[in-house]
Structure 1
């Protein structure tokens, strides 16, 4: 197994960089940061630029993982665990969408072209619409998308170049892979969590990848992950 380190950055950027460097020295392949910063903060804040620069220099992909949001008011069950409603679960990609939007539309990936971010476990199907809306907003709403790229790029171009996406079982998302970018999609079974495809992973993959060319299947189930993490 290859591990991913956990790093909390917030306003302790230098400490976060030190933790990321230590993770790299230990042989870990990347680090996970919160899917979104503290309430009322966003990842377009210039204070994070040192961290992005260090991740690019070290070559550490940054994971934005489902469930790492720190909401202001969490509902607790009697056993002390956090609970969420069905509606919240159906919209759980909101936080990563918000963070990716801030990273892309503020020019983070233009300033740090070799930075790689991984959208973990939020599935795929929502991505084409989100990429399209970012492009439309950037082109048509210049008063809102005030940062203008120096490169001849659109927001969706940066999404395809700098962001990878993991999923478990999203057939509609696979059918939209040409829009998302087949070189950016990575399958995982999420064992041993409740939403894991184990022990039915082979059946699930055979169903959702049935019409996908073999070369693309290879990229999705292993090749893209190997390339991203230098495995």
Structure 2
């Protein structure tokens, strides 16, 4: 179905007044977050690294956020939990555990572990909060290392940095996900600074059942090679070989889109889809999906309402600019044709996207709750999804809220239909 035809079909369905109320199945959320407990690295690193490895110190701090950039000073302000690592002092901010506060108190200020929602960093309270929020299973991105482990890539001592990546992954598998009975889904890091070490870490974790890995949506923003360079091919090959999904959270390039250095935070928040948009165009135009036909990638927190236009636009550019665009030899078919076989997207509040699922592709859409961040729909995710999905059929709702994520991550969970018997 052409994109324009699919958009029209979605609009017709959205206006159908005879829709039957749907049931929201227990959600599989593919984008939530964990705040690492203070002991993670101190308890696992060799003793010689305990004084320079990641550790938590509570001290006063002041936080600002403008132009898409988080800044801080230490020594004055409110008590704040700081992660110390080499020369880095990184503060935990109230938005890291936003669900612990009313919306009107959700300022960019420091936070201590005692003030956080217990489910943000402890397994048993997290599972209890998942029950409250109608979530059966959850994939959690990191906090202190940042969304793809940038903190370790920026470190001076790469031997220590590699150990920190491995410690995080061991903790993720053994302590965070291990006691959860399969409800917390492991999402691991790679050493971004070395593609061969990255491929080895993918394989090490795949051997113990991990099927998701963090990656940067725009690596050059981190001073790393682009996906057009061929540098990442051995990493992509390892992911394809092990059926590991490459998960890219907005902000995993450490650069959020804004219009000016003095733009308020709301400007950047309205533009959060932009990094996902840039990254998807990169992948569709790179030939990576041609070279690695089994590779799967997933975009987190970028919503999806922008997709019908961009999928149409890449095809127009591919066709009209074939003589000089630089992709005709690498991408033999219209770029949008690779999307549904290789890409997953997710949303938590996107009426426009849900009105255009035919143009996007039902099989690509998954759900997130973004717990415990400021955009989180917890504890009202079920009610919000029910209101936004009233025009969809029950099989469509089942796919978006649960079944697509099970297929994406290879989870051993029953489908929505199987749950209902």
Specify the alignment match of 1:4 in structure 2.
187
Q: 1:69 to 1:115 in 2, by over 3 A?
A: same
Superposition pairs of residues 25-36 of structure 1, within 5 angstroms: 25-36=207-218
Say if 1:176 and 1:142 are closer, same or farther in 2 by CA, change over 3 A.
Answer: same
Q: Which has the higher strand share?
A: 2
Equivalences for 1:98-117 in 2 at 5 Å? 98-117=278-297
* 1:50 pairs with one of 225, 229, 234: 234
Deviation at 1:56, TM superposition (A): 0.5
**Aligned with 1:160 (options 334, 340, 343):** 340
Aligned-pair distance for 1:128? 0.8
SS at match of 2:220: coil
Q: How do residues 1-231 of structure 1 correspond to structure 2 at under 5 angstroms?
A: 1-10=184-193, 12-39=194-221, 41-71=225-255, 85-148=265-328, 153-231=333-411
Of stretches 20-29 and 214-223 in structure 1, the one that deviates more from structure 2 is: 20-29
**How many equivalent residue pairs?**
221
User: SS in structure 2 opposite 1:159?
Assistant: helix
User: What's the offset of the Cα at 1:60?
Assistant: 0.3
Greater Cα offset, 45-54 or 215-224? 45-54
Distance 2:376 2:279 in 1: 25
CA RMSD of aligned residues (A): 2.1
Spell out, residue by residue over 1:35-71, the C-alpha distance to the aligned partner (whole angstroms, 9 max, x if none).
2103364221111111111110111010011221223
For residue 214 of structure 2, give the secondary structure of its aligned residue in structure 1: strand
Cα offset, 1:180, TM superposition: 0.6
In 2, Cα distance between equivalents of 1:196 and 1:70: 21
Shift of 1:118: 0.2
SS, match of residue 372 in structure 2? coil
Whole-Å Cα distance in 1 between the matches of residues 236 and 324 of structure 2? 24
Q: Which has the higher contact order (CA 8 A, sep 6+)?
A: 2
Shift of 1:151: 7.6
CA distance in 2, matches of 1:48, 1:150: 16
TM-score normalised according to structure 2 size: 0.50
Q: 1:106 and 1:59 mapped to 2: Cα distance?
A: 20
- Structure 2 unaligned residues grouped into runs of 5+: 1-183, 412-421
Unpaired stretches in structure 1, ≥5 consecutive residues: 75-82
CA distance in 2, matches of 1:84, 1:16: 36
Taking the aligned partners of 2:393 and 2:354, their CA distance within structure 1 comes to 12
| 1:218 partner SS | helix
